[in-house]
A and B are shown apart, each in its own frame.
Chain A
Amino acid sequence: MAEPDDLIHQPLRLKIMAGLSAAAAQEPVEFARLKAITRATDGNLGSHLSALEKAGYVAIAKDFAGKRPRTRVSLTHEGKTAFRRHVAYLRELVESFGDDA
């Protein structure tokens, strides 16, 4: 059975990872869009992104789009693998309980 990931399982971090995973094959996602996806506040989102960055699950890039500062976030390879594993664990858990019933 796959293993759970304590860091990812926190509800907001789970939404961050899910939102990024839907876009993971391509470019990073802007902070403002990630905020809309997760429906989190700036501060809350920022602190959870820092935790995910420290774990090596996301990469955060800051640059300028014209004169506007821009923060973009993407899943790292490690993050993708960890998220996939955690989702597999959740599915197995739901299905195994289903088998018991």
Chain B
Amino acid sequence: MDISRDDAAQALSDIASAQGRSRTLAAYGIAGPILIVWGVVWLVAYTGMGLSSPNLWVYIWLPADIVGALATIVLSQRGARGGGTKPGIIGMGWRIVAGMVMAAVFCVGLFSMVRSQDLNVYMAVPGLLTGAIYSVLGLGRMTRYLWLGIAVTAASLIGFFAFPAILPYWMAVTGGGGLIVGGLLFRRP
């Protein structure tokens, strides 16, 4: 068999591309169910915010976040074992949870420094931050995150400025629902 140097270089490039796509699709497969879980968490917690007084919000979000974080760790470990992925992805759940903790610290820090009389700020900012994080993740190889980030950011901004009276329910339906739909789309090959 006669293979030229250019053929060999092209073949190596094709191999690297196919391996990258394989890993990316495997990671989407793991992320899909996790996004669905967080969609449900948002749906329940934002609805709870709409139905309760602000001093109870922490008691809604704290258990919801703990359930979401535990589910994230379990789903990422199960997905990595069953999804045909290299060991690097196995720690994905812990990295996601660590990222969430950082995001929570950012929000608490921000709200401590910049206090607002408008309670809707406390609902929209976490959505904006989530959208920004997903958008940044999507700037690399995993472009599906970019679309999800844009959708969550748009939903948060539109809700804050156009529908302030029903913002918690808006965030529950568009934010939570968006994450669920996003999760279902992520699961597609």
How many A-B pairs with Cβ below 8 Å?
A: 92
Determine if A21 and B83 form an interchain contact, defined as CB atoms under 8 angstroms apart.
Answer: no
Cβ contact of A94, chosen from B9, B16, B21, B80, cutoff 8 A: B9
B8, B15, B19, B189: the one within 8 Å of A93 (CB): B8
Q: Main secondary structure on chain A at its contact with chain B?
A: helix
Which residues of the other chain, B, contact A59 by a CB distance below 8 angstroms?
Answer: none
Evaluate contact between B25 and A37: CB separation under 8 angstroms. Answer: yes
Interface of B, secondary structure class, is helix
Cβ of A85 within 8 Å of any chain B Cβ, yes or no, is no
Contact across chains for B12 and A91 when beta carbons are under 8 A apart: yes
Contact of A37 among B21, B82, B85 (CB under 8 A): B21
Q: Is the CB of B12 within 8 A of A28?
A: no
Q: B2-41: contact bitstring with A at CB < 8 Å (1 yes, 0 no)?
A: 0101001101101111111111011001000000000000
Is B1 positioned at the interface, with any CB of A under 8 Å from its CB? yes
Please pick, from B19, B81, B189, the residue contacting A32 in the complex, using a CB distance under 8 A. B189
Contacts beyond the supplied A18-B19, A27-B82: 19 A-B pairs with Cβ under 8 Å: A9-B11, A14-B14, A14-B15, A15-B14, A16-B18, A18-B22, A19-B18, A19-B19, A19-B22, A20-B22, A22-B19, A22-B22, A23-B26, A28-B84, A29-B84, A30-B189, A87-B12, A91-B8, A94-B12
Q: How many residues of B contact A (CB 8 A)?
A: 29
CB contacts (< 8 Å) of B83 on chain A: these are 23, 26-27
CB of B86 within 8 A of chain A? yes
Say if the beta carbon of A82 comes within 8 Å of chain B: no
Complex Cα distance A28/B87, Å?
15
A36: which B residues are within 8 A, CB to CB?
A: 21, 25, 189
Q: Does A77 contact B (CB under 8 A)?
A: no
